[in-house]
């Protein structure tokens, strides 16, 4: 969103032109206004960064979108299991005379050649062979929890560690006996360096 | 043999029960006040009564210790009886009939001991009693702590020996007439690594019982000080080392035998070995917090318990049939035994933890988020989270079945999506952690130490991205083309970062010693390592880990090709051209083999001849592939003989080109070397001698006056 009226200290500019703060003008403007300007500038920079990020992401995403049938066959085939009981990925099943994998590969190749979407191919396989044909849970319904739970664990765990660190930091320091003056500041740093040097090298 | 084995097992059970009961009574009466109602008054009024009780309890404790030692002898006899039965083709024993045959090579007859359900439990009991044997011999280190640990160990032994005697007896006799030959060993197990992979893995699994015994013992007795954790750490490191070797031998076996071109399939049984390894690794890091700073006592206690519990849980998974796996033993009733044992151990541990948890308070406070302590906290979080992810993925099919009525498969794509990001975070911490000082690190210090490694890592990543693929290297990594390339690039970049931080630690330490002693840099670094083997051994382990990770990152560039090949036919894969020179078959006593002879060309020049093979084992009537693997540092050319096309009579061959696989096996050797080094005691710091340079400069600065001056 464009700033409707450039605040004092910022040059009039056309869309896409970078903002520039005028040092001389900023020196004379009131502190509150300057603070506001700075915030707006930072917000704009952040927005620019986000736009760039999105653009890069879109480019990356689109670059993978036009995959050729061979690589799609390879990708989807590695997301499915052979159902002969070997517990192997479909394209890695190495049984000569396997009753299932050849037929499944042919079906997959036919579907990819037809131009069926990935999800359509997967649905067709699930309908025919059951949900265990997919090598990983889907991202729908209850299956979604398979992916969510570890990351929830990560977030909760990280939060817990931060709480523990804060609690430990706030723990009271043990009271020293009379006559002992604990080292502080530069002295403490010096002793730490010395201890580290002498005990670990 | 059957009788000798059966009676030995019964004797072992009786001895372990005695070791447990007598040890328990001994510990109870070593503290008569707590043990007897009204004992306080009696002990106070009659000192001789208290002394007598203590003396007698010590004697009883000594008999318990000796009984524990004898358990090893009894189980050893039982295991030897089973091996001798295999060598003497005693097919009257059902276990030998089902797992051996007359033409089985000697090494595999030996491996019969751990090839089936019952035998592997005997082997487990043998290793457990072996650990117990060593522990009870070394009791003088700390007699009271070792007595407690001995009792806990005896309790675990009672469980396993009761299981073997009453639910999975390996000496059961075959019903009906005597059979002339056995049905043979599973062909997949007839491979040299299978002779050493299970012992290593079991040494790892079983070994976690010892740290658990020490931890529970220390918890029960409210052990004062941190000595128990020093003892436990060394045992854990040994156990962890064995488990590491076991896991990677298993991976190498899968790669060399199963013929699908991979080494890790995220099978529940593989996961079962990974979980205690991850928790054990977390413990080996967090134990330093307790040793150096008296912190994380509760957490360490739980980690030790979790490692033991997960090792048993893994055994439960493989033996109960509750989770389907290509590795799992046949479904049997012993799963219930393990379930009860898991529940009891959990209950016992929780009871003593709640009873004595006040004893486990931390002694110091944390001073800064930017410190070695907090890096260990996050490191532990990530290791435990990885373990949880693996556990979650392993159990999810069962959970899904319970919730929505149908099973789902949780295979490699799930773990790649969930575990790899966490593993990459862990790799970042591996790089940062060693650069952080205990208590507090200044940002300036971190920046100073981190700058060059970061520049190096970024340079390598940029190099990998911009190098054209046409150069024929595995580089030319385009992370935007595929998520696996992105992970691969990140893994390699962060591995380089870790390697450079490790190198900088060696360099900085070596430079200090070099300046002090005047030695060369390499000699200084060797001396540095000798003076703190644990720290620098740990760094070498880190370096080994990143070498392994670089090897794993190569998987993003795997290629494969399958072709039916007649004489003279060619198959091209990567820079290689395979030409079928011939194919044939041959009879051996134990198996019949078919194989192809392939000439390998690179840049128009013949560089090798490969002979991939497929075997048909007569006794078990099963087939097995023996891929031919041509390994180089760059890549493995992995060729599988899949069989003959029945219509044309031509062999079908599948070739895989797997980049950087050799790095995995090299990395494992480095990890083993680092672990062994970390177990070596530190060399004493030498007396400080001024270097020649220092002496020279002093001499120039202040000449010593002579008598003539």
- How far apart CA B445 and CA B433 sit, in angstroms, is 13
- How far apart CA B592 and CA B590 sit, in angstroms, is 7
Q: What is the widest separation between alpha-carbon atoms in chain B?
A: 109
Q: Work out the pLDDT band at B703, boundaries 50, 70, 90.
A: very low
**What is the model's pTM?**
0.82
Closest in B259, B412, B482 to A94, CB measured? B259
Beta bridge partners of B542: none
Can you give the three-state secondary structure of A54-107, one letter per residue? Answer: HHHHHHHHHHCCCCCHHHHHHHHHCCEECCCCCCCEHHHCCCCCCCCHHHHHHH
- The answer to whether B394 contacts chain A (CB < 8 Å) is no
Q: With contact defined as beta carbons under 8 Å apart, do B549 and B487 qualify? A: no
Helix B412-432 to helix A144-169 angle, to the nearest 10 degrees? Answer: 20
Q: Which domain holds residue B457?
A: 424-554+671-683
Q: Are strands B570-573 and B576-587 parallel, antiparallel or unpaired?
A: antiparallel
Q: With contact defined as beta carbons under 8 Å apart, do B598 and B653 qualify? A: yes
CB-CB under 8 Å, A143 with B408: yes
Minimal C-alpha gap between A97 and chain B (Å):
9
CB-CB under 8 Å, B400 with A137: yes
| Per-residue pLDDT at A61 | 45
Minimal C-alpha gap between B377 and chain A (Å):
7
B543-553 confidence digits (pLDDT tens): 999 999 999 99
- The answer to whether A97 contacts chain B (CB < 8 Å) is yes
Kindly state whether residues A113 and A153 are assigned to the same domain: no
- The answer to whether B51 contacts chain A (CB < 8 Å) is no
Kindly state whether residues B549 and B561 are assigned to the same domain: no
CB-CB under 8 Å, A201 with B265: no
**Residue B611, burial from CB neighbour count under 10 angstroms (0-12, 13-18, 19+):** middle
Gap between the terminal Cα atoms of chain B: 94
Kindly state whether residues A59 and A77 are assigned to the same domain: no
In eight-state DSSP terms, residue A116 is -
Kindly state whether residues A29 and A41 are assigned to the same domain: yes
- Mutation target for B interface from A70, A80, A87: give the one with most B CBs within 10 A: A87
Whether B705 is in a domain gets the answer no
In degrees, rounded to 5, the angle at the alpha carbon of residue B600 between the alpha carbons of residues B597 and B605 is 135
Q: Which domain holds residue A54?
A: 1-66
Can you tell me the ipTM of this complex? 0.79
Kindly state whether residues B403 and B432 are assigned to the same domain: no
Closest in B385, B410, B417 to A157, CB measured? B385
Whether B511 is in a domain gets the answer yes
- The answer to whether B616 contacts chain A (CB < 8 Å) is no
Phi-psi region at B152: left, alpha or beta (left = phi > 0; alpha = psi -120 to 50)? alpha
Q: With contact defined as beta carbons under 8 Å apart, do B359 and B381 qualify? A: no
The distance from CA B484 to its chain's CA centroid, rounded to whole angstroms, is 26
Q: Can you tell me which residue has the tokens 């191919």?
A: A121
| Per-residue pLDDT at B21 | 93
CA dist B561 → B142, B574, B640 (Å):
61, 10, 10
Across B558-565, average pLDDT:
87
- Mean of per-residue pLDDT scores for chain B: 85
Give the domain-ending residue among B423, B450, B469: B423
- The answer to whether A191 contacts chain B (CB < 8 Å) is no
Taking 60 as the threshold, does the pLDDT of residue B529 lie above it? yes
Q: Work out the pLDDT band at B468, boundaries 50, 70, 90.
A: low
Minimal C-alpha gap between B439 and chain A (Å):
9
Share of chain B above pLDDT 90, in %: 42
- How far apart CA B355 and CA B352 sit, in angstroms, is 5
Q: With contact defined as beta carbons under 8 Å apart, do B643 and A97 qualify? A: yes
In eight-state DSSP terms, residue B704 is P
- How far apart CA B610 and CA B601 sit, in angstroms, is 11
Closest CA to B276 of B128, B387, B131: B387
Kindly state whether residues B580 and B534 are assigned to the same domain: no
| Per-residue pLDDT at B448 | 81
Kindly state whether residues A26 and A56 are assigned to the same domain: yes
Q: Work out the pLDDT band at B708, boundaries 50, 70, 90.
A: very low
- How far apart CA B79 and CA B597 sit, in angstroms, is 42
Whether B597 is in a domain gets the answer yes
Instruction: Check which CATH number belongs to the domain holding A85 and give it.
Output: 1.10.8.640
In eight-state DSSP terms, residue B173 is B
For residue B614, give the H/E element and its range: strand B613-617
- How far apart CA B210 and CA B242 sit, in angstroms, is 14
- How far apart CA B292 and CA B285 sit, in angstroms, is 12
Closest Cα in chain A to B413: A136
B414-456 confidence digits (pLDDT tens): 998 999 999 999 999 998 888 887 777 777 777 888 888 899 9
Taking 50 as the threshold, does the pLDDT of residue B581 lie above it? yes
Q: How many domains does chain A have?
A: 3
- How far apart CA B114 and CA B126 sit, in angstroms, is 11
Kindly state whether residues B55 and B71 are assigned to the same domain: yes
Kindly state whether residues B324 and B460 are assigned to the same domain: no
Across B574-587, average pLDDT:
89
- How far apart CA B591 and CA B587 sit, in angstroms, is 7
Whether B173 is in a domain gets the answer yes
The distance from CA A188 to its chain's CA centroid, rounded to whole angstroms, is 40
| Per-residue pLDDT at A97 | 65
Q: Please spell the DSSP secondary structure of B558-616, one letter per residue.
A: -EEEEEE--TT-EEEETTEEEEEEEEEEEE-SSEEEEEEEEEEEETTEEEEEE--EEEE
Structure tokens of B657? 């080109």
Whether B214 is in a domain gets the answer no
- The answer to whether A154 contacts chain B (CB < 8 Å) is yes
Chain A contact set for B275 (CB, 8 A)? none
Whether B702 is in a domain gets the answer no
| Per-residue pLDDT at B130 | 95
Q: Can you tell me which residue has the tokens 């080392």?
A: B241
Q: With contact defined as beta carbons under 8 Å apart, do B691 and B518 qualify? A: yes
CB-CB under 8 Å, A197 with B366: no
Q: How many domains does chain B have?
A: 4
| Per-residue pLDDT at A172 | 66
pLDDT under 70: residue ranges of chain A: 1-67, 95-97, 171-185, 189, 192-201
SS3 B60: helix
Kindly state whether residues A49 and A106 are assigned to the same domain: no
Kindly state whether residues B532 and B628 are assigned to the same domain: no
Kindly state whether residues B600 and B496 are assigned to the same domain: no
Kindly state whether residues B199 and B178 are assigned to the same domain: no
Q: With contact defined as beta carbons under 8 Å apart, do B658 and B254 qualify? A: no
- How far apart CA B253 and CA B137 sit, in angstroms, is 35
Kindly state whether residues A165 and A188 are assigned to the same domain: yes
Whether B463 is in a domain gets the answer yes
């Amino acid at each position: 969103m464009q700033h409707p009226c450039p605040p004092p200290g910022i040059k009039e500019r056309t869309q896409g032109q970078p903002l520039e703060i005028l040092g001389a003008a900023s020196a004379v403007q009131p502190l509150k206004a300057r603070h506001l300007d700075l915030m707006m500038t930072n917000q704009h920079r952040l927005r620019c960064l986000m736009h760039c990020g999105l653009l890069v992401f879109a480019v990356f995403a689109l670059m993978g979108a036009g995959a050729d049938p061979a690589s799609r066959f390879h990708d989807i085939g590695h997301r499915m299991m052979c159902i002969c009981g070997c517990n192997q990925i479909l394209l890695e099943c190495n049984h000569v005379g396997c009753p299932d994998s050849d037929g499944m590969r042919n079906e997959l190749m036919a579907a990819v050649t037809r131009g069926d979407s990935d999800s359509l191919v997967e649905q067709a396989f699930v309908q025919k062979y059951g949900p265990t044909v997919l090598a990983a849970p889907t991202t729908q319904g209850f299956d979604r929890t398979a992916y969510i739970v570890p990351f929830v664990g990560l977030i909760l765990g990280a939060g817990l560690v931060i709480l523990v660190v804060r609690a430990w930091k706030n723990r009271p320091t043990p009271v020293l006996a009379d006559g002992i003056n604990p080292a502080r500041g530069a002295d403490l740093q010096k002793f730490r360096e010395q201890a580290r040097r002498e005990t670990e090298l | 043999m059957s009788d000798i084995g059966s009676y030995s097992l019964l004797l072992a059970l009786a001895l372990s029960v005695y070791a447990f009961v007598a040890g328990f009574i001994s510990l109870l009466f070593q503290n008569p006040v707590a043990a007897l109602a009204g004992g306080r008054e009696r002990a106070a009024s009659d000192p001789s009564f208290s002394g007598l009780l203590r003396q007698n309890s010590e004697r009883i404790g000594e008999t318990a210790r000796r009984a524990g030692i004898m358990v090893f002898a009894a189980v050893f006899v039982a295991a030897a009886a089973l091996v001798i039965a295999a060598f003497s083709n005693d097919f009257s024993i059902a276990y030998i009939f089902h797992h051996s045959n007359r033409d089985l090579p000697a090494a595999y007859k030996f491996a019969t001991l751990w090839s089936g359900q019952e035998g592997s439990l005997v082997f487990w009991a043998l290793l457990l009693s072996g650990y117990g044997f060593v522990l009870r011999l070394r009791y003088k280190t700390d007699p009271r702590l070792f007595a407690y640990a001995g009792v806990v160990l005896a309790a675990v032994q009672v469980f396993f020996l009761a299981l073997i005697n009453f639910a999975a007896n390996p000496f059961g006799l075959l019903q009906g007439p005597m059979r002339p030959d056995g049905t043979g060993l599973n062909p997949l197990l007839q491979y040299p690594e299978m002779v050493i992979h299970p012992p290593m893995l079991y040494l790892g699994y079983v070994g976690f019982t010892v740290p658990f015994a020490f931890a529970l013992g220390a918890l029960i007795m409210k052990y004062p000080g941190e000595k128990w954790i020093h003892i436990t750490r060394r045992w854990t490191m040994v156990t962890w080392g064995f488990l590491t070797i076991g896991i990677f031998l298993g991976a190498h076996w899968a790669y060399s035998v199963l013929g699908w071109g991979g080494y890790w399939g995220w099978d529940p049984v593989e996961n079962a070995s990974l979980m205690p390894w991850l928790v054990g690794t977390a413990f080996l890091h967090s134990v330093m917090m307790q040793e150096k700073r008296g912190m994380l006592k509760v957490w360490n206690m739980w980690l030790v318990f979790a490692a033991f519990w997960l090792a048993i849980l893994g055994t439960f998974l493989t033996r109960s049939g509750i989770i389907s796996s290509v590795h799992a033993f046949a479904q049997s009733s012993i799963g219930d035994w393990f379930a009860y044992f898991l529940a009891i151990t959990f209950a016992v541990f929780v009871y003593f933890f709640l009873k004595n948890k006040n004893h486990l308070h931390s002694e110091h406070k944390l001073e800064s988020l930017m410190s070695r302590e907090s890096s260990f906290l996050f490191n532990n979080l990530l290791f435990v989270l990885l373990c949880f992810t693996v556990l979650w993925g392993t159990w999810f099919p069962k959970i899904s079945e319970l919730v929505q009525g149908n099973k789902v498969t949780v295979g490699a794509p799930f773990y790649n999506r969930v575990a790899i990001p966490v593993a990459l975070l862990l790799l970042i911490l591996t790089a940062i952690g060693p650069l952080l000082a205990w208590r507090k690190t200044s940002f300036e210090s971190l920046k100073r130490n981190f700058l060059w490694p970061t520049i190096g890592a970024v340079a390598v990543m940029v190099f990998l991205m911009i190098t054209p693929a046409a150069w024929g290297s595995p580089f030319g990594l385009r992370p935007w083309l595929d998520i696996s390339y992105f992970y691969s690039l990140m893994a390699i970049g962060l591995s380089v970062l870790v390697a450079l931080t490790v190198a900088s630690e060696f360099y900085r330490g070596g430079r200090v010693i070099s300046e002090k002693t005047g030695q060369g840099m390499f000699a200084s670094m060797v001396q540095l390592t000798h003076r703190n083997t644990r720290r620098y051994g740990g760094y070498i382990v880190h370096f080994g880990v990143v070498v392994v990770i670089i090897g794993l990152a190569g998987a993003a560039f795997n290629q494969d090709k399958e072709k039916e090949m007649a004489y003279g036919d060619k198959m091209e894969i990567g820079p290689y051209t395979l030409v079928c020179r011939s194919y044939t078959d041959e009879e051996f006593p134990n198996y019949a083999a078919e194989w192809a002879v392939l000439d390998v060309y690179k840049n128009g020049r013949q560089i090798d001849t490969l002979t991939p093979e497929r075997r048909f084992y007569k006794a078990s009537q099963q087939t097995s592939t023996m891929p031919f693997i041509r390994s180089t540092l760059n890549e493995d050319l992995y060729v599988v003989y899949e069989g003959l096309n029945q219509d044309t009579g031509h062999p079908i061959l599948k070739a895989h080109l797997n980049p950087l696989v050799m790095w995995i096996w090299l990395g494992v050797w480095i990890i083993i070397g680092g672990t062994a080094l970390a177990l070596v005691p530190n060399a004493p710091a030498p007396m400080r001698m001024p270097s020649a340079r220092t002496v020279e400069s002093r001499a120039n600065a202040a000449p010593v006056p002579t008598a003539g001056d």
